[in-house]
Amino acid sequence: MEAPCMNKLKQKEFTLASLTDLTSSSSSPVVATFSCVDEVTELRFQESESADSFSFDLSSAQLFKLGALQLVCVCDSSNSTKENSFSRGVVIKFRDEKESKDFCDSFEEWTKDAVTKGSCLPNGTVSYSSSKFDNKIEAASAKMYFHYYGQLLHQQNMLQDYVRTGTYHAAVMENRSDFSGRVVVDVGAGSGILSMFAALAGAKHVYAVEASEMADYARKLIAGNPLLAERITVIKGKIEDVELPEKADVLISEPMGTLLVNERMLETYVIARDRFLSPNGKMFPTVGRIHMAPFADEFLFIEMANKALFWQHQNYYGVDLTPLYGSAHQGYFSQPVVDAFDPRLLVAPSMFHVIDFTKMKEEQFYEIDVPLKFTASVCTRVHGLACWFDVLFDGSTVQRWFTTAPGAPTTHWYQIRCVLLQPIHVMAGQEITGRLHLVAHSAQSYTINLNLSAKMWGPGANQGGILQTSSCKLDLKEPYYRMSQPQVYPVAQEPPAQPQDLQIQSDDLEEVELLQQNTNAQF
């Protein structure tokens, strides 16, 4: 007999094409029902032509997709002490893709609300159901991530980024009307500094949610500020898992990573929006923009190429290293370069891609595709694409932007540059097109696929196609941290003092000389 359950979902049935037990070769049509029995949410399978049935406890069930019409559902063994042990598994087949999708959506809804029998979820308690975060992020990456942000030295590094911390403080204090008397949720609270800013602005109550060990330090820091402590509750847990006693009027967070999206914290930010933010609630920050522009930097390109020259040793203690030269060269160019660079290295006006945190769906962060189109302002060799970001705090009183642009005060994000394996030559006025394609992966970062092309320029260009193209594939998780401050470049870049370290073809030397002559002519 069904009993009242903690979740408010209505019982739902699906008629399956067939159901096959993993331990059996036989299959038969089955009706699958999501329901709540004795305060336990379950998925019940009932054979159409018999009274036989069995159930999976949704608090321990997992679903895997084999194809458009085929899934595998497994249930954890409650009696086994072995890790990753399952008591039963079934292969589910559907009649069409719509039924398959509806079943997956229902499974996600019911497992999210599934609670172990007899347990409750007071403020800050984490459910035992399978975490959405854990399902998409590999355990080793999550462990390292939370360990990193659980250390005070890294929190200090962020707090001492005065551009970052000062902008957040100003955005909150300039918009006191958005915080005064309001309920605020701090998403990924860290040290709790943003929670205390919200309390200083008059927030009615602040829920500071932090999954790392930093939550314990945040409690200690907040307790040491008694005038604020009574209005701040620190909750240790993931946003995807915790329960809060009330909806929020305001979300505040610092979810930005390198290239804005690195670490995939923005997904957690929009999950918090969907779970906890009241209709018409405020988000600080509100909108993010990824800015992009092609750049020319002969020094950087030669530096990257020189890194792999070690592997050209043909007699390194009697060993020929050259078989690995190609792989090493590819490896160095697969690292995005993180540094603060001189904006004069940009060879075209920048463009930007907008990410609206109030509207963006979590799934839209899994793959981000940006068409590129620029017009070169100088004659040069383009060595890659430079990127930076800014975010908007859209307050009711003041709209404040925070930027990481080259030439602006440097932040701990710096800027990022994707270096092409092969530069492309452009003339002033020539069109540069391409594509920046970001694909999320389970190590809390992105694979970057960059393609740049120079279209034919001059008389007859409207009849011509692509003149030259170059591409690269990079892992945003493994950047090359090059320097902490912008390097001072001369007006015309000169070749390194010892060019013999790099094998350059005579044609390339002529191109470098031509580049220098063109640059000098402009000044």
The residues spanned by each domain of the chain are: 12-77+87-115, 139-254, 289-481
Give pLDDT tens digits for 34-54. 887 766 788 888 876 666 778
Residue type, 412: H
Q: Which pLDDT belongs to residue 4?
A: 42
> What is the pLDDT averaged over residues 132-140?
88
Position 35 scores a pLDDT of 84
Look at residue 382 and tell me whether its pLDDT is greater than 90.
yes
What pLDDT is attached to residue 465?
A: 65
Beta carbons of 222 and 232 less than 8 angstroms apart: yes
Lowest average pLDDT, out of 132-146, 246-260, 270-284, goes to: 132-146
What pLDDT, on the 0 to 100 scale, is given for residue 324? 97
Here the tokens at position 170 are 């100003």
Residue 106's pLDDT is 85
- pLDDT at residue 516 greater than cutoff 70: no
pLDDT in tens, 476-494: 999 999 964 455 544 444 4
pLDDT of residue 19: 76
Q: What is the pLDDT of residue 87?
A: 61
Q: Which residues contact 431 (CB under 8 A, 6 or more apart)?
A: 373, 374, 375, 376, 454, 455, 457
Would you say residue 22 has pLDDT above 70? no
The yes-or-no verdict on residue 9 having pLDDT over 60 is yes
Task: List the 70-76 sheet strands across, edge first.
Answer: 53-57, 40-47, 27-37, 12-21, 86-93, 70-76, 61-67
List Cβ neighbours of 400 (8 Å cut-off, separation of 6 or more): 167, 170, 171, 174, 392, 393
CA-nearest of 478, 125, 172, 202 to 330 is: 478
Most confident of 68-77, 115-124, 247-256: 247-256
Phi, psi for residue 236 in degrees, rounded to 5? -90, 115
- Whole-angstrom CA distances from 106 to 35, 37, 112, 133 are 11, 17, 10, 18
pTM for the structure as a whole: 0.70
Instruction: Give CA–CA dist 302/230, Å, rounded.
Output: 57
What's the Rg (C-alpha) of the chain?
A: 28
Determine the Cα–Cα distance for residues 257 and 149; give it in Å rounded to an integer.
Answer: 13
Q: Where are the alpha helices (DSSP H) in 94-235?
A: 97-113, 132-136, 139-149, 152-159, 162-173, 176-179, 193-200, 214-223, 226-229
Judged against a pLDDT cut of 50, whether residue 79 lies above it is answered with no
Q: What is the C-alpha to C-alpha distance for residues 224 and 202, in angstroms, rounded to an integer?
A: 18
Per-residue pLDDT band at 59 (split at 50, 70, 90): confident
Q: In a 3-state reduction of DSSP, which class is residue 339?
A: strand
More confident residue, 226 or 66: 226
CB atoms inside a 10 Å sphere around CB 67:
10
Question: Who contacts 298 (Cβ-Cβ below 8 Å, separation ≥6)?
Answer: 381, 383, 493, 495, 512, 515
Distance from C-alpha of 42 to C-alpha of 101, rounded to nearest angstrom: 19
Least confident of 23-32, 80-89, 366-375, 473-482: 80-89
Residues taking part in catalysis: 254, 263
pLDDT-based confidence at residue 213 (cuts at 50, 70, 90)? very high
Looking at CATH, the fold of the domain delimited by 139-254 is given as: Rossmann fold (3.40.50)
pLDDT for 521 equals: 46
- Residue 421: band (very low, low, confident or very high) from pLDDT cuts 50, 70, 90: very high
Mean pLDDT in the chain? 84
Bridge-based pairing state of the strands 431-441 and 445-455: antiparallel
**Regarding predicted confidence, which is higher, 129 or 151?**
151
pLDDT of residue 371: 98
Give the bridge partners for 391, in sequence order: 288, 402
- Distance separating alpha carbons of residues 51 and 57, to the nearest angstrom: 20
Of the segments 75-84, 139-148, 400-409, which one has the largest average pLDDT value? 400-409
pLDDT of 56 strictly over 90: no
Higher pLDDT pick, 289 / 492: 289
pLDDT over 70 percentage in the chain: 80
Peptide bond into 285 cis (omega under 30): yes
Lowest mean pLDDT among 109-113, 115-119, 448-452: 115-119
**Which regions of 38-98 does DSSP assign to beta strands (E)?**
40-47, 53-57, 61-67, 70-76, 86-93
Q: What is the pLDDT of residues 293-320, one digit of tens each?
A: 999 999 999 999 999 999 999 999 999 9
pLDDT of 118: 36
Determine what percent of the chain is predicted with pLDDT higher than 90: 63
Average confidence (pLDDT) over 125-139: 69
How distant is the alpha carbon of residue 25 from its chain centre? 42
Find the length of the chain. Answer: 523
Other beta carbons within 10 Å of 437: 17
Residue-level pLDDT at 94: 86
pLDDT band at 215 (very low <50, low <70, confident <90, very high): very high
pLDDT for 175 beyond 90: yes
pLDDT for residue 24: 60
| Domain 12-77+87-115: assigned CATH number | 2.30.29.30
pLDDT over 90 at 61, yes or no: no
Candidates 3.40.50.880, 2.60.40.10, 3.90.1150.10, 2.70.160.11; CATH matching 289-481: 2.70.160.11
75 vs 382, residue with greater confidence: 382
Start-to-end CA distance of the chain, whole Å, equals: 86
pLDDT at 51: 66
